[in-house]
Amino acid sequence: MVDFSKHEEIQAPSGPTLHCQGWGQEAALRMLMNNLDARVGENPRERIVYGGRGRAARSWPAYDKIVDSLMSLENDETLLIQSGKPVGIFKTQSQAPRVLIANANLVGKWATLEEFDRLEKKGLTMFGQMTAGSWIYIGSQGVIQGTFETLAALAAKHFDGTLRGKLYVSAGLGGMGAAQPLAAKMLDGVALIAEIDDQRIQKRLDSGYLDVAYESIERAVNDALAAKREKQSISLGVHCHANELLQYLIQRHIVPDVLSDQTAAHDPLIGYIPDEQNVDQARVLRHQDPTTYLHMARHSIAQHVRHMLVLQQQGARTFDYGNNIRREAFDQGVTDAFEIPGYVPAYIRDLFNAGKGPFRWAVLSGKPEEIFQLDALALEMFGDNPLLTRWFTLAQKYIHFQGLPARIAYMGLGERDRFAVKVNEWVAQGVLSAPVVFGRDHHDTGSVASPYRETEAMRDGSDAIADWPILNALLNTASGAHWVSFHHGGGTGIGYALHAGAVVVADGSEDSRGRLSRVFFNDPGIGVIRHADAGYDVAVKTMADHTDRMRAPFVGPDTNIPME
């Protein structure tokens, strides 16, 4: 029996037994609990999943009410979640979503971190990050293939397709940053990552994302350089602030081949520890004097970006990894912060143009062997994609499951729906012993407006147009996703992004077959249209190949609007 009232050591139930009225509700319940599993989330006691303060529920009473609501929710009802708090259940229809979620959304003029902090303290809102508040986080694996794809594209552009004999330096080993060392290792490189929180370092050692950890910067750097010379593939962590590591490299004229950062700088109050503070000191100061804390954190962030610019000028291939660190530094007077390119326009946009993005699934059976069965199915269906084939092979070798066994893979338009429908057939046939949940990161082709990340430097200048993620959420609702979410903030923080998510469970039914077919074609399809509208040729071609299932009546800017 599962004790659903527990707040300690939460673990999602597994297997074919329903605790709810249907699998849409059951999947939402299990994935909510999986987010708060200590093997998965960063700080479940505070309901924090990842990304600074990205939460799954606003409070424990709200969590309890969500659980109770999901367990009693009928198959023609829809539960509404307002920033981590269940606020309503309505009679809708059987093919409607079972849950609709909105997190941290503020009216434009009020969409500032300061206003959000004020409202959060009053218990009125919650930061949902991306997959924290939409209940589809799957641990550090959830971002690792995106990191793998980014570094693979970088290696293809600059280093003949491999990081062998190359040194990758970065900082941050939280729920997103932890993907960096393993992704670099998967591409045969040497990764050296700074992290000030020793508990995070230990967690990454335990999960296999780090091979070795150091207290000494000198020793860590020396071993990293030796591994580079010997062309080893290895991931190293060093217990220090980012600025301590970068300053050491600059002083000793050591230039990494690749340089980035994935601290939670988008939320400087929670996600970035000032240089003068250790973890415990920062926790006290944050509580007692948040104004001073923010001043110190932003000063450190500015220095961090200055160090990155120095190393970039010395030859390091440097890129911003979407945590808004450039904007924070720019606001502190680092006027050349945006000389550092963002990773999406530099390396990922061509994938978005083809409708490719971070598709993911979790087996509700709890059986790792069923993930491997699905790996084999994906390789059978898409074996002509060499990078995807390499990814599955490496994932099986290196990825440790956290909570419910899960997998992520960058699949494109016409691939996601075909794969999900086939898996639904397997569930119906009993090949798999329980249903499978399909979703994606909000960081995807058509689901985000984020001018310092996903939509940075759009060809038509439409970086800040937020109609697209809103249309994405509406389309996925109309298409019958089991739950749909719309958030403000995400990886670049309050005021800098709006984004949507969608999840469908494959339970073997005809109802799920229809939902999976519609959602996982239409969801990346709107991303292709979004990029075709912005003038990207790859997107225009991709759209032309699928006119049987989608059409774009009017692509490109409307130049016929009369201007006064």
For residues 494 and 457, give the distance between their C-alpha atoms in angstroms, rounded to a whole number: 20
What DSSP line would sit under 443-494, residue for residue?
-SSSSEE-TTTTTTT-TTS-TT--HHHHHHHHHHHHHT-SEEEEEE-GGG-T
Q: Is residue 425 part of a domain?
A: yes
Which of 341, 369, 392 is the last residue before a domain boundary? 341
Q: Are 496 and 451 in contact (CB under 8 A)?
A: yes
Q: Which conformational region is residue 177 in: left (phi greater than 0), alpha (psi within -120 to 50 degrees), or beta? A: alpha
For residues 54 and 486, give the distance between their C-alpha atoms in angstroms, rounded to a whole number: 14
Q: Is residue 513 part of a domain?
A: yes
Which of 296, 312, 341 is the last residue before a domain boundary? 341
Cα–Cα distances (Å) from 341 to 320, 321, 326, 557, in that order, read 6, 9, 9, 26
Please list, residue by residue across 140-159, b when 16 or more beta carbons sit within 10 angstroms of its beta carbon and e when fewer do: bbbbbbbbbbbbbbbbeeeb
The reply to whether the predicted model has a pTM over 0.85 is yes
100: tokens are: 């609709």
Q: Is residue 20 part of a domain?
A: no
Tokens 């201007």 belong to residue: 563
Q: Is residue 317 part of a domain?
A: yes
Which helix H or strand E contains 101, and what residues bound it?
A: strand 99-103
Tell me which amino acid residue 468 is: W
Which helix H or strand E contains 322, and what residues bound it?
A: none
- What DSSP character marks residue 401? P
Q: Are 246 and 321 members of one domain?
A: yes
- What DSSP character marks residue 345? I
Tokens 């440097």 belong to residue: 318
For residue 234, report the phi and psi dihedrals to the nearest 5 degrees. Answer: -155, 150
Q: Is residue 135 part of a domain?
A: no
Q: Are 173 and 298 members of one domain?
A: yes
Q: Are 315 and 443 members of one domain?
A: no
Amino acid 564: pLDDT: 60
- What DSSP character marks residue 289? -
User: Of how many residues is the chain composed?
Assistant: 564
Q: Are 312 and 454 members of one domain?
A: no
Tokens 């299990």 belong to residue: 30
Q: Are 366 and 15 in contact (CB under 8 A)?
A: yes
Q: Are 384 and 322 members of one domain?
A: no
For residues 429 and 29, give the distance between their C-alpha atoms in angstroms, rounded to a whole number: 24
Q: Are 334 and 368 members of one domain?
A: no
Q: Are 154 and 347 in contact (CB under 8 A)?
A: yes
Q: pLDDT tens track of the chain, all 564 residues? A: 789 999 999 999 999 999 999 999 999 999 999 999 999 999 999 999 998 899 999 999 999 999 999 999 999 999 999 999 999 999 999 999 999 999 999 999 999 999 999 999 999 999 999 999 999 999 888 888 889 999 999 999 999 999 999 999 999 998 878 899 999 999 999 999 999 999 999 999 998 899 999 999 999 999 999 999 999 999 999 999 999 999 999 999 999 999 999 999 999 999 999 999 999 999 999 999 999 999 999 999 999 999 999 999 999 999 999 899 999 999 999 999 999 999 999 999 999 999 999 999 999 999 999 999 999 999 999 988 888 888 999 899 888 899 999 999 999 999 999 999 999 999 999 999 999 999 999 999 999 999 999 999 999 999 999 999 999 999 999 999 999 999 999 989 999 999 999 999 999 999 999 999 999 999 999 999 999 999 999 999 999 999 999 999 999 998 887 766
Beta bridge partners of 190: 167, 234
Q: Are 375 and 290 members of one domain?
A: no
Residue 278 sits in a domain whose CATH number is 3.40.50.10730
Cα–Cα distances (Å) from 388 to 153, 287, 408, 440, in that order, read 13, 45, 11, 16
Overall number of domains in the chain: 2
Q: Mind listing the pLDDT tens digit for each residue in 332-364?
A: 999 999 999 999 999 999 999 999 999 999 999
Q: Mind listing the pLDDT tens digit for each residue in 234-282?
A: 999 999 999 999 999 999 999 999 999 999 999 999 999 999 999 999 9
Q: At what angle do helices 368-382 and 416-429 cross, to 10 degrees?
A: 130
Q: Are 420 and 539 members of one domain?
A: yes
Helices (H), 126-216: 141-158, 179-186, 198-207
Which of 279, 307, 341 is the last residue before a domain boundary? 341
Amino acid 390: pLDDT: 87
* Residue 504: closest CA among 15, 7, 2, 23: 23
For residue 233, report the phi and psi dihedrals to the nearest 5 degrees. Answer: -110, 115
Amino acid 563: pLDDT: 62
Q: Are 409 and 392 in contact (CB under 8 A)?
A: yes
Number of H helices, E strands in the chain: 20, 17
Q: Is residue 10 part of a domain?
A: no
Residue 395 sits in a domain whose CATH number is 3.40.1770.10
Q: Are 383 and 332 members of one domain?
A: no
Q: Are 385 and 423 members of one domain?
A: yes
Cα–Cα distances (Å) from 205 to 62, 182, 188, 237, 478, in that order, read 33, 11, 19, 9, 43
Rg (CA), the chain: 22
Amino acid 506: pLDDT: 98
139: tokens are: 């641990």
Q: Is residue 17 part of a domain?
A: no
Question: Domain range spanning residue 228?
Answer: 141-341
Q: Are 334 and 417 members of one domain?
A: no
* Residue 236: closest CA among 247, 249, 225, 220: 220
Q: Are 313 and 200 members of one domain?
A: yes
Q: Are 505 and 438 in contact (CB under 8 A)?
A: yes
